Structure 1
Amino acid sequence: MTYVTHVFMVIFGYSKEKATELMLKVHNEGRATVSSGTREEMERDVQRLHEYGLWATLQRDDEF
């Protein structure tokens, strides 16, 4: 789980506390929103997570 925290810090610039919080949410609930933005930005973020060996998906948020 430390690796996931590290990846969130590197890719998204999260503090250790925020990255750990998101990692625990993924661990306990199976998912967490770790990034938001345009479709192109999210596709890039998913690709970056895949490059680190993490499983990630893109989901549209219909609340806007």
Structure 2
Amino acid sequence: MSPSVAYGTDIDERTKAEERSATDVLTAPDIPWNLVIWNDPVNLMSYVSYVFQSYFGYSESKAHKLMMEVHKKGRSIVAHGSKEQVEQHAVAMHGFGLWATVEKAASGNETPGKGGRQRG
């Protein structure tokens, strides 16, 4: 075997390893994102609760609990998922007149209000 063939093989192996690394990054699980609803001086509490029920399909009690968290703490994580899903939810919340932002979840274990159906 000539040295150029051995060298060419090393380059091929490095290229394959780099392609595998790039593919691993692309197939890594999506980092969870949170939809945060913020308190505002405009919307009635009953309206905020209505939006949570109608858009997310949350029960009246869960929607009320999340709304009270927004009211008392100033914010509440009302949904989580992939960045794209959560961004779509934020746009929808803006359409309802609510102040919503998207943030990276601290861990993969966060859930909006301990269970419940999410739209997505």
Q: TM above 0.5, one fold?
A: yes
Q: Which ranges of 4 or more aligned residues in structure 1 deviate by more than 4 Å? A: none
Q: 2:96 aligns with which of 41, 48, 52?
A: 52
| Alpha-carbon distance in structure 2 between the residues aligned to 1:61 and 1:40 | 14
Give the TM-score normalised by the residue count of structure 1.
0.96
| Alpha-carbon distance in structure 1 between the residues aligned to 2:92 and 2:84 | 12
RMSD: 0.6
Aligned residues: 64
**Structure 2 unmatched ranges of 5 or more:** 1-44, 109-120
Give the TM-score normalised by the residue count of structure 2.
0.52
Greater share of helix:
1
Q: Deviations over 1:29-50 (max 9, x none)?
A: 0111100000000000000000
Q: Which has the higher contact order (CA 8 A, sep 6+)?
A: 2
Greater share of strand:
2
SS in 1 for 2:58: coil
